[in-house]
Amino acid sequence: MRNKVTKAIFPVAGMGTRFLPATKSVPKEIMTLVDRPLVQYAIDEARAAGIKEFIFVTSRGKGALEDYFDHAPQLEQELRRKGKDDLLEILKSTNMDSGEIAYIRQHRALGLGHAVWCARRLIHNEPFAVILPDDVIAAETPCLQQMVEAYEETGGNMVAAMEVPAEKTSSYGILDVEQDMGTMVSVKGMVEKPEKGSAPSNLAVIGRYILSPTVFRTLNKMKSGAGGEIQLTDAIAQEIGVEGSGVYGYRFRGQRFDCGSKSGFLQATVAFGLARDDLKADLEAYLHEIMSTRKAAE
Ligand code: G1P
């Protein structure tokens, strides 16, 4: 029997400079998509995939993140008193039980691989998931759940994958495909942010991973890669060809939004707004109106 994936690491130590000035005092992960912070989407996806332990790798100035996951007894009491049961339920659904959640500090910004390495002592010798909350994925079956189901067949290491336009490959980890089986590909190489014109494919790694704890052996070496940072991609690449392990790319079903960019965040806001029964009609009418006014002006 394969070990179940019950732990997930959420690297949230980035400074979010692309969202300044907002991120001067608000952690990027707390920024709101419709009415929920980005990180809540990541947590919900992890839970749906069977994750029981949530490990956040944080940094200075992320206190609001810890507060967000704390219980809010006063607020709950007030809502109960006013009979606002619906809001009470929403609030309760965001509570994390004691011991379910852990925070580790990444003291220096040395890269994604280093951030994941910081959580090594909480992982022990089990497979684990990594979720980058910047990548928000709208999907009927949540992306990590799709991957966990596929992983039960393959084992090894699995990364979410998606084709990107050739001119965008230098922003991603890119897979060198060994065998393309449709939903799944086996991988013979991985390059983090390849220089223009040198990408082995246009199949990019998206921020969902299921990894074998053996990646820590490579991360322990603290070798820096692209951009002078310790890259997770490089550590995963070392797992290729390992007997009984290997690396797979998984083409998930769903739409990914790059909420690490302003344009991606805005697109996600519109898409998630349109998916909400309570907002759809108003938002649709508004979008329609501004688009037709703009067209008329042209
Ligand atoms: C990180 C990873 C990269 C991956 C990307 C997905 O890059 O290093 O391999 O393709 O996330 O969003 P970042 O966007 O943090 O620079």
User: Rounded mean pLDDT of 241-266?
Assistant: 93
Give the H/E segment covering residue 40: helix 38-48
User: Rounded mean pLDDT of 235-243?
Assistant: 88
User: Rounded mean pLDDT of 40-69?
Assistant: 93
Report pLDDT digits (tens) over 196-219: 989 999 999 999 999 999 999 999
How many angstroms separate the alpha carbon of residue 206 from the centre of ligand 1? 7
CA distance 176 to 132: 22
CA distance 206 to 229: 18
User: Rounded mean pLDDT of 215-244?
Assistant: 90
**Mean pLDDT for all residues in the chain:** 93
Ligand 1 binding pocket mutation candidate from 112, 168, 234 (most atoms within 8 A of CB): 112
Percent of the chain with pLDDT over 90: 78
User: Rounded mean pLDDT of 78-85?
Assistant: 92
Cα within 13 Å of Cα(248), Cβ side:
24
Q: Where would I find the beta strands (DSSP E) of the chain?
A: 7-11, 32-33, 36-37, 53-58, 101-105, 128-131, 135-138, 157-163, 173-180, 184-192, 203-211, 247-251, 255-258
Report pLDDT digits (tens) over 3-24: 799 999 999 998 888 889 988 8
Pocket around ligand 1: residues whose beta carbon is below 6 Å from it? Answer: 112, 132, 135, 172-173, 192, 204-207, 232-233, 260
CA-wise closest residue to 173 among 226, 137, 212, 251: 226
Domains of the chain, each with CATH number or no CATH: 7-257 (3.90.550.10), 261-298 (no CATH)
The answer to pTM > 0.85 is yes
CB 104 within 8 A of CB 57: yes
Nearest CA, atom 6, ligand 1: 206
pLDDT greater than 70 at residue 1: no
Work out which ligand 1 atom sits closest to the CA atom of 192: 9
Q: ∠ at Cα 3 (190, 115), nearest 5°? A: 45
CB 194 within 8 A of CB 227: no
pLDDT greater than 90 at residue 288: yes
Ligand 1 binding pocket mutation candidate from 15, 106, 117, 132 (most atoms within 8 A of CB): 132
